[in-house]
Amino acid sequence: MTSLVYTVTETLRYRGAIGQWSWVLHRITGLGVLFFLVLHVIDTSWAVFYPGLYEEAIKIYQTPLFTAGEFALVAAVVYHALNGIRIAVFDYRPAWWRYQRQAAIYVLLGTVLILIPVFIGMFGHVLAHYGSNPDVLPLGTVLAAQLPFAVGIVAAIIAALILSALYGALAGDRTGTRKPPSAMEKFWWSYMRISGVLILPLVFGHLAMMHVLQGVFDITAQDSVIVATSAINESGTATEFVFERWSYAIAGVYVWRLFDIALLALVTLHGFNGLRYVLTDYAGNSTVRRAMVILCALGTVVLLAVGGAALLAGVDETAIQMAEQALQTIGQH
């Protein structure tokens, strides 16, 4: 806790030093995107397991609160990605360290330059959607739907603390013995950099399809061509959108399913290992510290299992019928 207070006070006191600000921004953007990813992978799995719930989740994405969040998400991904590339390049090129300040400024400029056309494209979808007087879910419903996620996160923290205390009681406390970085830690250090470079085209490609080319509102546009496939969304359900994306094959290969598998694996490990860095930085007590590592491991396993199960099972025609029925029942279609 003291180190968290120290981070905040020192960043403010040390204002003007761009390196410090870019470090804080990198941290906040990474955590923000990870938070979104957890909700997003769980939501997406509903297209397979609970199509009715998936339709509701996408309706929630199509509300003003989430529209604002969508702009913040895209800005966070772009800044984090460019700054991540800067970190990776400079780590492997110590001779360039004296240009850190300029590089941090270029990252900010690059972010703005990318965001201007992207935001203009996204804004076009936003205007078209809200200009058509759509049914918008009330804010109370949107917030209430997020409650189970909050409860899940609290339950995971409590479970991690209990597991850590049990482990401490059984195996004894081994803190105080400072060891040099293990081979495992070196692996994770390299993984963060290599995965970052690999994620970049995947996540930018995914966002280009879901925000710029088609947009989150068009996921449920009836009779529209589904982005990067040759299929039409006949039912206008979000479930059919995922069905067609995951069934689209080139030479027998389900390209978007494979793409999502790679994205899921790379970002989940990268994001939760990043979260481990952040949480263990601020945990003084050894039980809490170990609990944070357990929490990140639990998060990784749950997200890979839920997302992986959905991707491997795929959506079927029955799910689309269930989604249509659910939409009729809630009177939103």
Q: How many CB atoms lie within 10 A of CB 306?
A: 19
Near ligand HEM by CB under 6 A: residue from 271, 292, 315, 323? 271
Phi, psi of 232 (to 5 degrees): -110, 140
Q: Does 319 contact ligand HEM by CB under 6 A?
A: no
What gap in Å lies between CA 218 and CA 198, rounded to an integer?
28
- Residue 142: C-alpha distances to residues 38, 152, 212, 283 (Å): 17, 17, 24, 33
Q: Does 315 contact ligand HEM by CB under 6 A?
A: no
Near ligand HEM by CB under 6 A: residue from 7, 18, 20, 31? 31
End-to-end CA distance of the chain: 49
- In the bound state with ligand HEM, the residue whose beta carbon lies nearer, of 275 and 294, is 275
Q: Determine contact, residues 233/223, Cβ cutoff 8 Å.
A: yes
What gap in Å lies between CA 209 and CA 215, rounded to an integer?
7
Q: Determine contact, residues 33/76, Cβ cutoff 8 Å.
A: yes
Map residues 70-89 to x or -, x wherever contact with ligand HEM holds by CB under 6 A.
Answer: x--x---x--xx--xx-xx-
Part in contact with ligand HEM (CB under 6 A); list of ranges 101-109, 196-204, 293-301, 321-329: 196-204
Near ligand HEM by CB under 6 A: residue from 51, 52, 299, 307? 307
Q: In DSSP terms, which residues pair with 109 in a beta bridge?
A: none
Near ligand HEM by CB under 6 A: residue from 106, 119, 130, 189? 189
How far apart are CB 321 and ligand HEM at their closest, in Å?
A: 19
Could you write out the DSSP letters of every residue in 216-270?
Answer: GGGGG-TTPBPTTSS-B-SS--HHHHHHHHHH-EETTEEHHHHHHHHHHHHHHHH
Map residues 198-237 to x or -, x wherever contact with ligand HEM holds by CB under 6 A.
Answer: -xx--x--x---x-----x--x------------------
Map residues 37-66 to x or -, x wherever contact with ligand HEM holds by CB under 6 A.
Answer: x--xx--xx---------------------
Q: Determine contact, residues 255/264, Cβ cutoff 8 Å.
A: no
Q: Does 277 contact ligand HEM by CB under 6 A?
A: yes
Residue carrying structure tokens 């597991």 = 163
Q: Which residues bind ligand HEM (CB under 6 A)?
A: 26-27, 30-31, 33-34, 37, 40-41, 44-45, 70, 73, 77, 80-81, 84-85, 87-88, 189, 192-193, 196-197, 199-200, 203, 206, 210, 216, 219, 241-242, 245, 256, 260, 263-264, 267, 270-271, 274-275, 277-278, 307, 310-311
